[in-house]
Amino acid sequence: MARVKICGITREADRRAAVDAGADAVGVITEVPVDSPREVDPATAAELLADVPPFVTATLVTMPDSAERAVELARTTAPDAIQLHGEWTVDELRYIRAETERKVLLTVDAADLARAEEFDGAIDAMVVDSTDDSGAGGTGETHDWRATGELAERLTTPVVLAGGLTADNVAEAVRVADPFAVDVASGVEIAGGRKDHNAVARFVANAGREMELA
Ligand SMILES: O=C(O)c1ccccc1NCC(=O)[C@H](O)[C@H](O)COP(=O)(O)O
Q: What is the CATH number of the domain that holds 177?
A: 3.20.20.70
52 alpha carbon – ligand 1 mean position (Å): 19
Distance 162 CA to ligand 1 centre (A): 8
- Residue 54 to residue 76: CA distance in whole angstroms: 19
Which residues, 6+ apart, have CB-to-CB distance to 71 below 8 Å? 95, 96, 99, 100
Report yes or no on 50 lying in a domain: yes
Q: Report the alpha-carbon distance of residue 114 to residue 108 in Å, rounded.
A: 10
Alpha-carbon torsion (137, 89, 104, 147), positive or negative:
positive
pLDDT at 115: 86
- Residue 214 counted as domain residue: no
Provide the pLDDT for residue 214: 47
Distance from C-alpha of 79 to C-alpha of 48, rounded to nearest angstrom: 10
pTM, 2 dp: 0.96
Q: Which domain holds residue 76?
A: 3-208
Please state the length of the chain: 214
54 inside domain = yes
Residue 213 is assigned to a structural domain of this protein: no
Domain membership flag for residue 86: yes
Ligand 1 atom closest to the Cα of residue 8 is 1
| 85 CA: nearest ligand 1 atom | 7
pLDDT tens digits for range 34-77 = 999 999 999 999 999 999 999 999 999 999 999 999 999 999 99
User: How many domains is the chain partitioned into structurally?
Assistant: 1
**DSSP single-letter state for residue 193:** T
Which protein residue has the closest C-alpha to ligand 1 atom 11?
A: 137
Give the Å distance between the CA of 55 and the centre of ligand 1. 22
Report whether residue 7 contacts ligand 1, using a CB cutoff of 6 Å: yes
Nearest CA to ligand 1 atom 6: 136
The residue whose CA has the least distance to atom 17 of ligand 1 is 137
What pLDDT, on a 0 to 100 scale, did the predictor assign at position 147?
A: 97
Is 96 contained in some domain? yes
**Ligand 1 atom 1, closest CA:** 138
Which residues of the chain are modeled with pLDDT < 50? Answer: 214
Q: Which of 7, 26, 85, 87 to mutate to test the pocket of ligand 1 (most atoms within 8 A of CB)?
A: 7
